Amino acid sequence: MKRIASILLILLTACCSLFAQFTEADKPLMDAYLENNMQRWKNYIDATNWEKSNTQQRLRLMAYEYGYCAATLDVSKKQAAPYVERFRAHTEEMKDKLPAGYYDMYMSSVYAFEIMMGKSAHFISTLKLASSAAEKNPTNPITLGYRANVLFYAPKGIGNKKEALVIFKKCEQYYKAPQWKYCWNRPATMLTIAQCYEKQGDLQTALQKTNALLKEFPNYKFVKETYLPQLKAKIAKQKK
């Protein structure tokens, strides 16, 4: 069960931004992700009135609720619980208003959150819904990226790292469209591509991808302070 929970957490934190279109208003929240400041996400969620929000505002709120649930579960199940419950309710209420594939992805995440809290055993449903989300919206880098993460992080026999990398590269191309400029999942996908190459043993390509990522997003705290130093150490060790 711990193994499954760990896999699910990776999937969720890597692909938890499901809002269909991003604007300059999302830049502060994107910066918060890069700076590893999820408190800013919490402040936005807590300050937004669901009942007074229109459909587009609700879709935007749900995207960050989703991400905040994933991040908070890694720290405190008790703190995350009310946000997960609210996110489930919002998902069910908005079922017929969500973009293609998003309901499946949201429900996949709800099951995953509940598994991590010990309230559900829908692991297979989580995987199946991730696949159907990508099938229903095959040119959306969010639904595709979620599917790719399933393939990359799922246990042996279910996952496929080579196929995952192919999909991630497609996502990277889709993210070049203007509507994704302020989507925090864009740099997250670039990081995952570097990690794909690292897992395959191609450390030099992983380093190239990481350097390109930091050139575009120099304030990406995790990459700058943790991932890049670890990758360089691994390369140095390989050369000995």
Residue extents of the structural domains in the chain: 2-184
Q: What is the pTM of this model?
A: 0.84
| Mean pLDDT value across residues 142-163 | 83
Dump pLDDT digits (tens) for 189-205.
Answer: 999 999 999 999 999 99
Q: Helix H segments across 15-122?
A: 27-34, 38-47, 55-73, 77-93, 102-116
Q: Check residue 4 and give its pLDDT.
A: 47
The whole-angstrom separation of Cα 48 and Cα 179 is 23
The residues near 31 (Cβ < 8 Å, ≥ 6 apart) are: 219
Closest by CA to 67, choosing from 106, 94, 101, is 106
Element housing 191 (H / E) = helix 185-199
Residue 27 binned pLDDT confidence (cut-offs 50, 70, 90): very high
Instruction: Inform me whether the pLDDT recorded for 180 exceeds 80.
Output: yes
Closest by CA to 142, choosing from 14, 33, 40, is 14
From first CA to last CA, the distance across the chain in angstroms is 38
Residue 81 binned pLDDT confidence (cut-offs 50, 70, 90): very high
Select the more confidently predicted residue: 52 or 8: 52
Dump pLDDT digits (tens) for 49-77.
Answer: 999 999 999 999 998 998 899 889 888 99
Q: Check residue 18 and give its pLDDT.
A: 46
Select the more confidently predicted residue: 13 or 209: 209
- Cβ–Cβ < 8 Å for 107, 91: yes
Share of the chain above pLDDT 70, in %: 91
Residue 21 binned pLDDT confidence (cut-offs 50, 70, 90): low
Residue 237 binned pLDDT confidence (cut-offs 50, 70, 90): confident
The residues near 142 (Cβ < 8 Å, ≥ 6 apart) are: 15, 17, 18, 20, 105, 183, 185
Q: Find where tokens 């449903």 sit.
A: 125
Locate the DSSP E strands across the chain.
none
| Mean pLDDT value across residues 100-121 | 87
